[in-house]
Amino acid sequence: MTDFTRREVLKMGAAGTAVVGISALGFDVAVAEATTVKQRLRIANAKVSRSVCPYCAVGCSLLAYTRRNGNGSVELLQIEGDPDSPVNEGTLCPKGASAMELAVSKRRMQGPLYRAPGAAEWKRVSWDFVLDKLARNIKAARDRTFVTRDDEGNVVNRCEGIAFAGGAAFSNEEGYLTTKLMRGLGFVYLEQQARV
């Protein structure tokens, strides 16, 4: 018969207790293992690319798994937290965990919609229509609300009638360019979704 030291017996006892505890909680080890295998198969031989979550300034790192299909198209299989990142160490908040939907959701808007004043329905319009409309509305609002001097007579040359909200999905360059444009138009109310 095999002899066990006191330490070995205690270790076996602890392991046995853990298994019993997990079973008692209804966690099926076999199911967990099967899920892991399925997960492995889904991303088997996939290409892994590193990216950054676009939603906020925390900047969590992502791993994106893609595979090229027989017809040459690239399919996004999965997005998850990057365990090598010192920022998020493989974790993602619920918003980041849904990042894949940005690429694959059928509910994602594919183009601009417009609801005319007083209308109940949104209708699909072209980008040309939207850009013209935006330019006209910005010009009209800026002309209407531009302030050249404050109450004390100081020259301020600012537009108080338009605000701009950026997004965390902006790159540094987009953020710089956008801020330049908005400041050039005299806008003072610039905000960023990542700060809320």
Residues in touch with ligand SF4 (CB under 6 A): 53, 55-56, 58-60, 88, 92-93, 95-96
Task: Kindly tell me which of 100 and 125 has the beta carbon lying closer to ligand SF4.
Answer: 100
Pick 107 or 195: Cβ nearer ligand SF4: 195
Would you list the DSSP string of 155-179?
EEEEEEEEEEEE-TT--HHHHHHHH
* Residue number with CB closer to ligand SF4 (92 or 162): 92
Rank residues 63 and 88 by Cβ distance to ligand SF4 and give the closer one.
Answer: 88
Minimum distance between the CB of residue 56 and ligand SF4, rounded to whole angstroms?
3
CB atoms closer than 10 angstroms to residue 161: 16
Parallel, antiparallel, or unpaired for β 187-192 and 155-166? parallel
Name the minimum Å distance from CB 189 to ligand SF4. 24
Contacts of 179 (CB under 8 A, 6+ apart): 166, 190
- Of the pair 10, 87, the CB lying nearest ligand SF4 is at 87
CA torsion sign, 44 to 49 to 50 to 53? negative
Smallest separation, CB 175 to ligand SF4 (Å): 16
Smaller CB distance to ligand SF4: residue 56 or 162?
Answer: 56
Separation between Cα atoms, residue 40 and residue 78, nearest integer Å: 11
Going by DSSP bridges, is the β-strand pair 146-149/155-166 parallel, antiparallel, or unpaired?
A: antiparallel
Q: In the complex, what is the shortest distance from the CB of residue 58 to ligand SF4, in angstroms, rounded to a whole number?
A: 4
The CB-nearest residue to ligand SF4 is: 96
Smallest distance from ligand SF4 to CB 13, Å: 40
Give me the least distance between CB of 80 and ligand SF4, in Å please. 11
- CA-nearest of 89, 66, 54 to 171 is 54
DSSP 41-85: HHTTT-EEEEEE-SSSTT--EEEEEEEE-TTS-EEEEEEEE-TT-
